[in-house]
Amino acid sequence: MAEPKQRPPFPKLFFIGLVVADIAALSGLGYMLTTAIEMVRSGLGLETYRTFWLVECKRPANPS
């Protein structure tokens, strides 16, 4: 009778890489959130984002 095939063990290096990537992602998210909170508290909330330059600082082409 043939023995059932066993799955190979979960690669330890892959697991370590996954944990490091998760920590980096959470750190980046935390940094973005703290930056946004600081900018909103200082009254410069829209200047945090590129859309500020596209919306708020747009000048008319031909001033009358």
Task: Name which residue leads in pLDDT, 13 or 10.
Answer: 13
The 10s digit of each residue's pLDDT in 14-45 is 899 999 999 999 999 999 889 888 888 887 76
Classify residue 46 by its DSSP letter: G
Q: How far is CA 30 from CA 8, 50, 51, in A?
A: 36, 20, 21
Taking the whole predicted model, whether its pTM rises above 0.85 is answered as: no
Place of tokens 């890489």: 17
